[in-house]
Structure 1
Amino acid sequence: MHPRDPTLTPQTLLRAYAAGIFPMAEGAESDEIFWVDPRRRGVFPLDGFHISRSLARSLRRDDYDVTLDRDFEGVVRGCADRDETWINATIFALYMALHRMGHAHSIEIWQDGLLTGGVYGVTLGTAFFGESMFSRRPNASKRALAFLTAHLDRCGFTLFDTQFLTPHLASLGAVEIPRDAYHAKLQAALTGQADFGAYPSPPAVSDILQRRSQTS
């Protein structure tokens, strides 16, 4: 679909998320959008983020800053800046529109004044649909996920959808559930309300470390 195609709107995208499906493109230059509803879905239990000793040490360091929604566009562009991406012009424009509507959010990691990592996603009810993350320095995306899960938990979210389960996400505590189980969790999440902006600042590192399980 062309970026100017009026049939694909932010409202269409929100209805798709509510139905349990999400869009992808074959590549940055592709005009085609296809819809995905995986047979098995990746999710992050919000009380089960795994923090290794090395990640805990990384979180305690004072060589980075964390922000909420300071540079949503920069995060999406960072996620698209790779050899293979599913973020084409249509998808980029749609997520920018969702951000302006208050339905898409990001967490940014900054080092030496530069955006070095982040994660973004879409919110509906008490569901957060994680879309993509990127890292330009070691542990930047892990730091972003650690802050994100803690932030979602304190803001009242109940479902953190990762779409697919990768070895990287599994090492941090994500699990895979059948499609029917995911749709049941999604429908429950859509009946509630959570506010990503309920807290203007990221959670404290001490809070993250106290509430998350430690693994060696």
Structure 2
Amino acid sequence: MEIDVSSIIEGYKQGYFLMADDDGELDWYSSRQRTLIPLDERFRYPKSLRRAINQQRFDIAIDRDFAAVCQGCANRDITWISEKLSQIYLVLHQAGWAHSFETWQGDELAGGILGIAIGGAFIGESMFYRIPEGSKVAMVKLVEHLRQKKFMLFDAQLQNSHLERFGSYIVSPRKYRALLNKAISSSCTFI
């Protein structure tokens, strides 16, 4: 399968994201209301999570096992990550666009977040966990990492109750495009 990386990145720059339908066919999507994770003081997380963070139960890694994070994100009863989309993510990773932010306990992958970094925008595609709190700690540490790297936008695409616990908020398509355009024109690097 031939994958045109530049066309895919251009789609993300235009505010779209890829998802597979029930038949595994890929298409571009956008949302009438885009969900963002705040990178400022509005970011919050449950007090119960502070214990896991303070106890340093997880080691943090970037791209240690991108393929395993991709597989973990796709391995659920209802998923938008088809085999074809997984292959696209792997190609984007090899080209330096897609990254995984991971939590580990020893040699065991505890959880992770998969996303695409373009300039100062991180577009979160999916997250998963195998060990309780694994993906939540990854979220907190990813926000810290994005702040340190001066990212301007953490796009979570679609709202859900899990993301709301971290202070996620919704913006209009017009506002999202303005934020995205500003973010992708900055010269941040994820790693």
TM-score (norm 1): 0.84
Report the residue type matching 2:31 in the other structure.
Answer: P
Partner SS, residue 12 of structure 1:
helix
**Contact 1:9–1:94 (CA under 8 A) maintained in structure 2:** no
1:25 to 2:20 alignment: yes
In structure 2, how many angstroms separate the alpha carbons of the residues matched to 1:167 and 1:116?
21
- Residue equivalent to 1:12: 7
Partner SS, residue 96 of structure 1:
helix
Partner SS, residue 50 of structure 1:
coil
Instruction: Give me the identity figure in percent.
Output: 38
Deviation at 1:191, TM superposition (A): 1.4
Deviation at 1:25, TM superposition (A): 0.4
- Superposition misfits of 4+ residues, deviation over 4 angstroms: none
- Residue equivalent to 1:203: none
Partner SS, residue 45 of structure 2:
strand
**Structure 1 unaligned blocks of 5 or more:** 198-216
**Contact 1:118–1:144 (CA under 8 A) maintained in structure 2:** yes
5 Å-filtered alignment, 1:109-120, equals: 109-120=103-114
Deviation at 1:53, TM superposition (A): 1.9
Deviation at 1:138, TM superposition (A): 1.4
Deviation at 1:51, TM superposition (A): 2.5
Partner SS, residue 188 of structure 1:
helix
Structure number with bigger Rg: 1
Deviation at 1:31, TM superposition (A): 4.2
Partner SS, residue 151 of structure 1:
helix
Deviates more, 1:128-137 or 1:60-69: 60-69
Deviation at 1:19, TM superposition (A): 0.4
1:63 to 2:70 alignment: no
Partner SS, residue 196 of structure 1:
coil
5 Å-filtered alignment, 1:139-150, equals: 139-150=133-144
TM-score (norm 2): 0.95
- Residue equivalent to 2:121: 127
RMSD: 1.2
In structure 1, how many angstroms separate the alpha carbons of the residues matched to 2:153 and 2:86?
24
In structure 2, how many angstroms separate the alpha carbons of the residues matched to 1:108 and 1:31?
26
Aligned length: 190
Partner SS, residue 115 of structure 1:
strand
**Contact 2:46–2:165 (CA under 8 A) maintained in structure 1:** no
- Residue equivalent to 1:200: none
5 Å-filtered alignment, 1:130-209, equals: 130-197=124-191
In structure 2, how many angstroms separate the alpha carbons of the residues matched to 1:143 and 1:112?
15
Deviation at 1:52, TM superposition (A): 2.5
In structure 1, how many angstroms separate the alpha carbons of the residues matched to 2:83 and 2:115?
17
In structure 2, how many angstroms separate the alpha carbons of the residues matched to 1:172 and 1:31?
30
